[in-house]
Amino acid sequence: MDRFSLLFLLLSSVVASAVVSDVNSDGDPLIRQVVSDGGVEEDSDDHLLNAEHHFTLFKSKYGKTYASQEEHDYRLGVFKANLRRAKRHQLLDPSAVHGVTKFSDLTPSEFRRQYLGLKPLKLPADAQKAPILPTDNLPDDFDWRDHGAVTGVKDQCDPQQYGACDSGCNGGLMTSAFEYTLKVGGLEREKDYPYTGNDRGPCKFDKTKIAASVSNFSVISVDEDQIAANLVKHGPLAVGINAVFMQTYMGGVSCPYICFRTLDHGVLLVGYGAAGYSPIRFKDKPFWIIKNSWGANWGEDGYYKICRGRNVCGVDSMVSSVAALHTKSQ
């Protein structure tokens, strides 16, 4: 396995660890979810949403079952609220498509607890800054998937070794995962330390089975040309993002008019495009291509596109890379 392949292995292993800010309200600041005490406040246009029909399709598509009629009715109420929320997201983010997703029966608070995290974002004080790279000859479009360098999309928070031996899924920083890898000497292969979905189990790390190691990691400038240059030269990059619009995202290029830059999710930047969408009265705009960790039945086959140019949802705020050292051939 060459240096680039190792780099991709390590990055794809850690980016699902969430980079987070604790949000105390039960709804996001833009679109408030109206759910309390098992009931949902009804909007006057609920009948236009045809919620019961969509809920039936939702349960069938995602294999959803509930323990009791009371729980079923509560989830239907949450689903209705999320339909209204998706409708408002669509108004705020017209270049993307928002609607029913696998998370449509979760309140925003439940979604954050299960798929994002709880620890505040804080970059290490001694984080190494990446050197400035030339940006004159960058390609207009680039995607590491076209080079066979990106593994399939998984539905998991992070590799089992990180979950059990490091910070787990609730708020582990990508840089913390890099530091852990440096400290213990490397990572085992997934087949030797398989994913169980439980980050509270005992650490079973075996140093004799280390398959990949790193020499250091670095934090990349918020300048988007530098991010693109590092992506092209060094491979996929670990990125923090505000995921407020991702619960309802179905496809297209997300470019919301308003999105806070408070980071609460870790993803993998694998590419970019020069012209991906046409907002009303604007020309085509460039975008980033993001690999997520919520399975291939979310977004665009597990991927998320977000516009470039103004640090939308904080996507440029915390970008980091790791330098591969060596790997064993097995």
- 73 assigned to some structural domain: yes
Domain identity same for 214 and 92: no
Task: From 72, 88, 115, give the residue that closes a domain.
Answer: 115
Residue 177 sits in a domain whose CATH number is 3.90.70.10
Domain identity same for 193 and 105: no
Instruction: Give me the helix-helix angle, 69-92 and 51-62, nearest 10°.
Output: 100
- 106 assigned to some structural domain: yes
Residue 248's alpha-carbon distances to 61, 78, 231, in angstroms, are 16, 13, 28
- Position 219 scores a pLDDT of 85
Residues 142, 232: contact at Cβ < 8 Å?
A: yes
Domain identity same for 176 and 297: yes
Domain identity same for 161 and 200: yes
- Position 164 scores a pLDDT of 40
- Position 36 scores a pLDDT of 33
Which residues touch 60 (CB under 8 Å, ≥6 apart)?
A: none
Task: From 87, 115, 143, give the residue that closes a domain.
Answer: 115
3-state secondary structure the chain: CCHHHHHHHHHHHHCCCCCECCCCCCCCCCCCCCEECCEECCCCCHHHHCHHHHHHHHHHHHCCCCCCHHHHHHHHHHHHHHHHHHHHHHHHCCCEEECCCCCCCCCHHHHHHHHCCCCECCCCCCCCECCCCCCCCCCCCEEHHHHCCCCCCCECCCCHHHHHHCCCCCCCCHHHHHHHHHHHCCEECCCCCCCCCCCCCCCCCCHHHEEEEEEEEEEECCCHHHHHHHHHHHCCEEEEECCCCCCCEEEEEECCCCCCCCCCEEEEEEEEECCCCCCCCCCCCCEEEEECCECCCCCECCEEEEECCCCHHHCCCCEEEEEEEEECCC
- Position 179 scores a pLDDT of 59
Task: From 96, 115, 134, give the residue that closes a domain.
Answer: 115
Question: Which string of b and e fits 251-281 if b means at least 16 CB within 10 Å?
Answer: ebbbbbeebbbbbbbbbbbbbbbeebbeeee
Domain identity same for 161 and 198: yes
Domain identity same for 19 and 41: no
Q: From CA 145, how far away is CA 231, in angstroms rounded?
A: 12
- 29 assigned to some structural domain: no
- 30 assigned to some structural domain: no
- 157 assigned to some structural domain: yes
- Position 18 scores a pLDDT of 38
Q: Which residue range is the domain that position 317 belongs to?
A: 3-24+118-327
Tokens of 105: 């029966």
Domain identity same for 127 and 223: yes
- Position 16 scores a pLDDT of 41
pTM of structure: 0.77
Domain identity same for 175 and 193: yes
pLDDT, tens only, 233-270: 999 998 989 999 999 999 999 999 999 998 888 899 99
Tokens 């539905």 belong to: 155
pLDDT, tens only, 43-73: 445 545 689 999 999 999 999 999 999 999 9
Domain identity same for 277 and 214: yes
Domain identity same for 130 and 93: no
Domain identity same for 73 and 87: yes
- Sign of the CA dihedral running 50, 43, 105, 77: negative
How many independent structural domains does the chain possess?
Answer: 2
Domain identity same for 164 and 110: no
Radius of gyration of the chain (CA): 20
- 283 assigned to some structural domain: yes
Tell me the pLDDT of the chain averaged across its residues.
Answer: 76
Residue 71 sits in a domain whose CATH number is 1.10.287.2250
Sites in the chain below the pLDDT cut of 70: 1-49, 117-126, 156-202, 204-216, 277-283, 323-330
CB-count burial class (<10 Å; 0-12, 13-18, 19+) for 234: buried
